[in-house]
Structure 1
Amino acid sequence: MAETTEELSTMLGDLSRASERVGLKMNMDKTKVMVNIHVAPTPIKIGDSTLEVVDDYVYLGQTVQLGRSNFEKEINRRIRLGWAAFRKLHGIFSSNLPQCLKTKVYDQCVLPVMTYGSETWSLTMGLIRRLKVTQRAMERAMLGVSLRDHIRNEDIRKRTKVTDIARRIAKLKWQ
């Protein structure tokens, strides 16, 4: 963190040189610059590389952005990651395994992907609803049930017995 881009450029240059002295090298593709409204975004060069100026980026698995925290982007990203994890396990969810095993796989493999970092999220009812809708869609896919079958969500939940995502997030926040 620095007050000016010149100060940041100096600090990053010093870090790069100190890293090289001990045999390390900064990855300039992963190094990004983020500025707030008080600093004009100007390119910063370290050696031959110009660092990219970004509004947000993913650091340690979570989206980081300056300004008012809006977790809609992070929720969308988590939903996409959840579906990717769900699709990887499609063979398990569409198999003849007992539902209790499918539920364990879901609770241990898909749900953590969707709720990672949720302890820091400020969620609105709309965002919680989107997460619940996604979870219900996954439950329907697990059971091979369509919306046209007109089976109530409560009945589906009784059959799948998966952990409710809103409860999981609340539990993680309290922990």
Structure 2
Amino acid sequence: MVPAPSCPYTWDYWSSSPTEGIELACLMPNSVYIPLRASWDSTLQDVKEVRPCRLKDSTVTNQGGTDEDVAARINKAKAAFAQLRPVWDSNVLKRRVKISLFNSIVKSVLLFGCETWRVTKGLMNKLQVFVNKSLRLILRIFWPNTIRNVDLWNVCKQTSIEQEIALRKWRWIGHTIRKGAESKASIAFEWKPPGGHRRRGRPVHTWRRTVDGELRAQGLSWTEARAVAEDRTAWRTLVKALCTTGELWDKAAKYPLFGMLHEMSGYVFQFINSLAAPEEVDDESKRLRDVKPVCGVLKIIERPNEKPGEHLLNTHISHLIGKGLNEFDSLRSSEVNDFRTRMRILAEESSLKRANSSRLEKLRHRYPPRLADLPVVPTMLHSRLNNHCFILVTKVENTEVRIGLRVEAVWG
């Protein structure tokens, strides 16, 4: 039997657990607890404090155990991948079969129980690094041969680990909610022990706080989520809100007019922000709760014609100055208007002057000389001339055409 603790907060947990449908395991007299200013009064049986604790192939610690659980999952997935090394090295099996075996054997070991993991950027990077290395070994891509991660995922028909975990998590949440209000897992989504208080400082980044934030980003509460989960079609629509352009691109490849699309980088998500203005999603790794679109609606559009990298450069400049470049168009101060007027006049004068210039001046402007223009040939070049002449070779860009001219030198 587990002794009743003397702390009022934990005593409420002990006393209310039978009414809330929570059973306390009594087979292992061990405890893993978050350190508080409270003591355990052992009156019936000593409770041994252990850290960490193994429970049903998962690791439980006083911080939640996600970090330790992810590390253990990666090690087990590495062992499963190593056992299948003859399969990866086989020249008989097709790539499609190898990827299918990787998904069903290695990836299932890696992501076991991922629905309850506390998602952080560091953990996602560790998982993604393992998957990327494994896929490169399967495809036999070694240095100096390289491939971008995005291209690697497209070839192997994979999605990012963060997106896959999010989809698995929300599908599992919908399945758990549909079990009914009497299910212990469903009760744990919202139940909080009465009484007590937390320590000072920022609240710990827990799994439930993450899920609550994602629900708020969709404009839903747990009560509304339970109602939506009863309709499987509506719940699938909610889950699909986590899709990115990469997944949409893979789906679009199955349609006959896919060849009419441009490169994937030429498309971007657009949404309506809180100021009722259209805004583009610059970083697709952001979550919806960080983007905060109105009504949770994203629209995919084609980027306007612009130079390569110009959009990324404008984004970086906007982050540095703390304001979007498009916001300067709405400024109406006298200094800004005067600056715009002066720049327009200067540009018009420069354009008019260039239009009236000679052909030689236009050529020098288009192809500026690398050497200083002198009226006579320098003395140091006299010995290098060919019969007192320069040999001028002109190569046409993107072709093998070369044109040679003999130009007589001007002597001083």
Q: Give the TM-score, by structure 1 length.
A: 0.70
Which stretches in structure 2 are left out of the alignment for 5+ residues?
A: 6-26, 172-412
Mapped contact 1:75–1:127 kept (Cα < 8 A): yes
Pick one of 30, 43, 54 that aligns with 1:33: 30
Report the structure, 1 or 2, having the larger helix content.
Answer: 1
Which stretches in structure 1 are left out of the alignment for 5+ residues?
A: 5-27
Alpha-carbon distance in 2 for matches of 1:61, 1:70: 12
Alignment of 1:1-175 (within 5 A): 1-4=2-5, 31=28, 33-36=30-33, 37=35, 38-39=38-39, 53-66=49-62, 68-96=63-91, 97-175=93-171
Q: How many residues of Structure 1 are paired with residues of Structure 2 in the alignment?
A: 145
Which residue identity is paired with 1:58?
R
Alpha-carbon distance in 1 for matches of 2:84, 2:3: 45
Alpha-carbon distance in 1 for matches of 2:101, 2:59: 26
Shift of 1:128: 0.8
Q: 1:172 to 1:34 in 2, by over 3 A?
A: same
Superposed CA deviations along residues 13-60 of structure 1, whole A, max 9, x for unmatched, are xxxxxxxxxxxxxxx9xx4622433346x9x989xxxx9642112211
3-state DSSP class of the match of 2:135? helix
Alpha-carbon distance in 1 for matches of 2:48, 2:89: 43
Q: 1:32 to 1:163 in 2, by over 3 A?
A: farther
Runs of 4+, deviation exceeding 6 Å: none
Superposed CA deviations along residues 61-113 of structure 1, whole A, max 9, x for unmatched, are 211123x3352111111111111111111111121211110111011111111
Q: 1:2 to 1:65 in 2, by over 3 A?
A: farther
Partner of 1:10: none
Larger radius of gyration: 2
Mapped contact 1:86–1:110 kept (Cα < 8 A): yes
Alpha-carbon distance in 1 for matches of 2:85, 2:116: 30
Alpha-carbon distance in 1 for matches of 2:85, 2:158: 16
The CA RMSD over aligned residues, in Å, is 2.9
Alpha-carbon distance in 2 for matches of 1:134, 1:85: 12
Q: Give the TM-score, by structure 2 length.
A: 0.32
